[in-house]
Chains A and B, each alone.
Chain A
Amino acid sequence: MNGMRPTRVLWSRLSLAGFLAAFAVVIDRPLPLAGAVLVGAWILASQYSFLAALERTTCRLSITRGLPSATVHAGESTPIPIAATLAEPTPLSLEIDAGLPTAATADRDAATLTLEPDATAATATVSVTWPVVGRHRFDAARVTATDGRFVEMVATGERPTVSVASRGPRRLHVGEGGDRLASPYGAHALRRSGRGIEPAEIREHVPGDAAKRIDWNATARFATPHVREYETETTRRTLLVVDHGRSLSTGPPAATKLEYLREVMLATADRARELDDPLGLVAVDDGGVTSRLKPAATTGTYAAVRRELLAIEPTPSDPTARRAAEPPARPPTQAADGGRAERGRASAPPVEHSSSVHERPTRATARGSAWDLEGDTDPFAETLRPFYADAQRYRRLARERVLFDAVETALTATPSTSLVVVFTDDSDPAALRETVSMARANDAAVTVFLAPTVLYEPGGLADIERAADRYREFEAFRRDLGRLDRVRAFEVGPGDRLATVLEAGRERGDRR
């Protein structure tokens, strides 16, 4: 209780009593003093009645604050229902402040309940945003009671706490058709014996085994010639292909497709480093290749790949921002070209522009060269231009098949790549299928990590039946991909949402 505050109404009554007493003294007659006494009696009786009513009210009042049912994440908005009920009506007017934690952002007016005299219940739901990570304690509910003459505030109630967790991918699920995958990258033992340094087994000598492979110790023990086998050492040249186009930005802040895929990318890169596999990276967005690192097993490459993976952001959805990053000399007619206008990032210019002329020409470099020639009035450029007459076709292809192009270029540049790991979503199944086929044709095993759009869209699960259908479509596509030889396809997404969709799918299946 923070003390009773008299209102102006009460002050005016006290002043009246003072005036009457003073008046009595001035005119030297006790009659007005009797009035002062009566006014004083009225004030005291009113105060007593107010306190008695307040005491009864506090005994009958029950305030309920609904806490968030699950762990809250920073920046999330949670509805907090506040309810006040009185066992019996009270003559007092009550204002109940929910006592939200200081770190909570909410419409503070909405967090205040008003119980009019004789009302017995009031409810409100306030939307609270939690911008700060940590444990936040509610203040005690503050009840301000007034009868118009006196105001009293009673701060009371328990002080529950809310834990706010940081944002970011949570409950990451990587698996096939809802089945969780223990290790997305995995070891790659050949289960084949051969030359190496790790002993595998000892077997009896058979005709054809070289005499130098005989293990004489074992031969002495078993009395017949024995050979020691060793594990075959392998390295797997791995290329990470990361799509960070606009569609990868789907999802709540800090929990987008790309954020989830990034977790898998980093895990894959770490695993490759542990196994000393040469690791490379190709990152593409809607405009083309944004980053390219040739597979290598050096510490520098691993660090560079990791750095790139951490820095990758989805293509911004505002094309003007990207256009502003273009060199200003571009003629406007070309800048209006959709494909070109979306090319490149402010932070990392397309790689093909900086490619060395000594590298093998690829579609990307051809595209870049053709682009450089346009608008150039130099005689040399005039001469070369006819040779790039096909550039238009390349550019169209590039727009439609950025991923295909990037993977093909990378595989051409490093033919010994034995594993291509693609991180993308299901927005363009045809292009992805083509890319996977092409990679297989280049003798590479392919692992695809797919982010099903339905699991990321903010309202994606509103219509759960439709979500189940969409997931089924995705699953059919993923299974098609996974059925190909030397191809594995996994879905990557928030596990809780996936469970919801799968549950809905099962229920539908049961009904049918």
Chain B
Amino acid sequence: MSDRQSGAAETGADDAPGSRRTVRAIVADRVPDRTVPRLLALAALVAAFTHAAGRPGAVAGIATAAVWDALETPSAIGVGHVALVGLVPAGIDPVSFALLEAGFVALVLASAPRTARDARIGHAAAALVSAGGLGGLAWAVLGLGGRPLWMAAVASLAALAGGVYGLHRYGLVFVRDRAGRDRPDSGPRPSESTANPSTAATDRVGSSPPDPDSTSDADTH
């Protein structure tokens, strides 16, 4: 069960400097040894689909699982929700809706990327907080505020963009500055002179002086 094809297809157009093979390898692999939670999440999702729309729902649930297997989780979410619109044209009851979304959230949690392998709780927390925040915002605008749907959509997308940018700033400030704080003073030390035969500069990224060139970059982002 993997995203192998999706990785291959999407990396082809990837503009990342990493090699094609590398990116494919990364995208393809989710956290290993998590097959059981994924199967459970898929089973829950198919069950929720069945509960919401009967037999056609089961078929749609299985199709969603297949899409998840072939592509990545977001594709499965998209296909599943579009299918649901067709399956329940008259509107979905709140219990079924809650079950379905819970199934999708379980899928998101179960299909954590490799990068989350050392911090699964952090990933799960980030996913839950994000889902809760974005969903809560949409609900607040739509249900509590009684605003039109487009406003809820705009608010959600704006919140998503703000979240992506906020994390980007978090990366700039914390990841770089933590490295910067650990580093000694920058500038060439006499021991780095080539005249000394025993010299070999060892740059430990985590404890090295900040790069003066990148300081200005930080401000531009």
Q: Which residues of A contact B (CB under 8 A)?
A: 1-9, 12-14, 16-25, 27-56, 58-72, 91-93, 95, 114, 116-117, 137-141, 143-144, 146-149, 151-152, 154-163
When the two chains form their complex, are residues B156 and A21 in contact, meaning their CB atoms are under 8 A apart? Answer: yes
Given the complex, which residues of A lie within 8 Å of B80, measured CB to CB?
35
Q: List 26 A-B contacts (CB under 8 A).
A: A14-B160, A35-B78, A37-B134, A39-B74, A40-B156, A41-B108, A41-B127, A42-B73, A42-B108, A44-B160, A44-B164, A48-B123, A51-B174, A53-B119, A54-B171, A56-B118, A62-B206, A72-B194, A91-B26, A93-B18, A147-B26, A147-B114, A151-B17, A151-B18, A156-B183, A159-B188
If A1-B214, A37-B134, A39-B74 touch, whether A25 touches B150 (CB-CB below 8 Å) is yes
When the two chains form their complex, are residues B188 and A34 in contact, meaning their CB atoms are under 8 A apart? Answer: no
When the two chains form their complex, are residues B193 and A3 in contact, meaning their CB atoms are under 8 A apart? Answer: no
Given the complex, which residues of A lie within 8 Å of B123, measured CB to CB?
45, 48-49
Most buried by A among B16, B126, B186: B16
When the two chains form their complex, are residues A40 and B134 in contact, meaning their CB atoms are under 8 A apart? Answer: yes
Given the complex, which residues of B lie within 8 Å of A64, measured CB to CB?
200-203
If A1-B176, A37-B134, A64-B200 touch, whether A140 touches B113 (CB-CB below 8 Å) is no
Partner of A38, one of B17, B108, B150, B214: B108
Q: In the complex, what residue of chain A is closest to B116 when comparing beta carbons?
A: A49
Most buried by B among A63, A92, A157: A157
Interface residues of B in 102-129 (CB under 8 A from A): 104-105, 108, 112-119, 122-124, 126-128
When the two chains form their complex, are residues A156 and B85 in contact, meaning their CB atoms are under 8 A apart? Answer: no
Given the complex, which residues of A lie within 8 Å of B27, measured CB to CB?
9, 147-149
When the two chains form their complex, are residues A30 and B138 in contact, meaning their CB atoms are under 8 A apart? Answer: yes
When the two chains form their complex, are residues A39 and B78 in contact, meaning their CB atoms are under 8 A apart? Answer: yes
Task: State A93–B217 Cα separation when bound (angstroms).
Answer: 23
Task: State A158–B195 Cα separation when bound (angstroms).
Answer: 17
Known contacts A38-B131, A49-B113, A49-B122; can you find 5 more A-B pairs with CB under 8 A?
A32-B81, A44-B163, A52-B118, A53-B115, A152-B175
If A37-B156, A116-B22 touch, whether A67 touches B149 (CB-CB below 8 Å) is no
Interface residue? B5 (CB, 8 A): no
Nearest-CB distance from B59 to chain A (Å)?
A: 18
Task: State A9–B115 Cα separation when bound (angstroms).
Answer: 16
Q: In the complex, what residue of chain A is closest to B101 when comparing beta carbons?
A: A34
Q: In the complex, what residue of chain A is closest to B143 when comparing beta carbons?
A: A30
When the two chains form their complex, are residues B205 and A61 in contact, meaning their CB atoms are under 8 A apart? Answer: yes
When the two chains form their complex, are residues A156 and B126 in contact, meaning their CB atoms are under 8 A apart? Answer: no
Given the complex, which residues of A lie within 8 Å of B218, measured CB to CB?
1
Task: State A116–B114 Cα separation when bound (angstroms).
Answer: 13
Binary contact readout B65-93 vs A (1 if CB under 8 angstroms, 0 otherwise) = 00000001111011011101100000110
Task: State A18–B78 Cα separation when bound (angstroms).
Answer: 11
When the two chains form their complex, are residues B153 and A44 in contact, meaning their CB atoms are under 8 A apart? Answer: no
Interface residue? B53 (CB, 8 A): no
Nearest-CB distance from B171 to chain A (Å)?
A: 5
If A44-B163, A49-B116 touch, whether A155 touches B74 (CB-CB below 8 Å) is no
When the two chains form their complex, are residues A152 and B74 in contact, meaning their CB atoms are under 8 A apart? Answer: no
When the two chains form their complex, are residues A158 and B134 in contact, meaning their CB atoms are under 8 A apart? Answer: no
Interface residues of B toward A: which range? 35 or more
When the two chains form their complex, are residues B78 and A34 in contact, meaning their CB atoms are under 8 A apart? Answer: no
Most buried by B among A31, A47, A48: A48
Partner of B197, one of A16, A70, A140, A147: A70
Given the complex, which residues of B lie within 8 Å of A155, measured CB to CB?
211, 213-214
Nearest-CB distance from B26 to chain A (Å)?
A: 4
Q: Which residues of B contact A (CB under 8 A)?
A: 7, 10-11, 13-19, 22-27, 72-75, 77-78, 80-82, 84-85, 91-92, 97, 101, 104-105, 108, 112-119, 122-124, 126-128, 130-131, 134-135, 138, 142, 149-150, 152-154, 156-157, 159-160, 163-164, 167-168, 170-172, 174-176, 178-179, 183, 186-189, 192-195, 197-206, 208-211, 213-214, 217-218, 220-221
When the two chains form their complex, are residues B164 and A93 in contact, meaning their CB atoms are under 8 A apart? Answer: no
When the two chains form their complex, are residues B175 and A63 in contact, meaning their CB atoms are under 8 A apart? Answer: no
Q: In the complex, what residue of chain B is closest to A63 when comparing beta carbons?
A: B203
When the two chains form their complex, are residues A140 and B97 in contact, meaning their CB atoms are under 8 A apart? Answer: no
Q: In the complex, what residue of chain A is closest to B135 when comparing beta carbons?
A: A37
Q: In the complex, what residue of chain B is closest to A3 when comparing beta carbons?
A: B221
Nearest-CB distance from B134 to chain A (Å)?
A: 4
Given the complex, which residues of B lie within 8 Å of A162, measured CB to CB?
194
When the two chains form their complex, are residues A160 and B78 in contact, meaning their CB atoms are under 8 A apart? Answer: no
Task: State A162–B192 Cα separation when bound (angstroms).
Answer: 8
When the two chains form their complex, are residues A44 and B167 in contact, meaning their CB atoms are under 8 A apart? Answer: yes
Given the complex, which residues of B lie within 8 Å of A35, measured CB to CB?
77-78, 80-82, 104
Nearest-CB distance from B209 to chain A (Å)?
A: 6
Given the complex, which residues of A lie within 8 Å of B157, measured CB to CB?
17-18, 21, 36, 40
If A155-B211, A158-B208 touch, whether A51 touches B18 (CB-CB below 8 Å) is no
Nearest-CB distance from A6 to chain B (Å)?
A: 8
Task: State A93–B19 Cα separation when bound (angstroms).
Answer: 9
Given the complex, which residues of B lie within 8 Å of A67, measured CB to CB?
192, 194, 199-201
If A52-B119, A151-B18 touch, whether A157 touches B205 (CB-CB below 8 Å) is yes
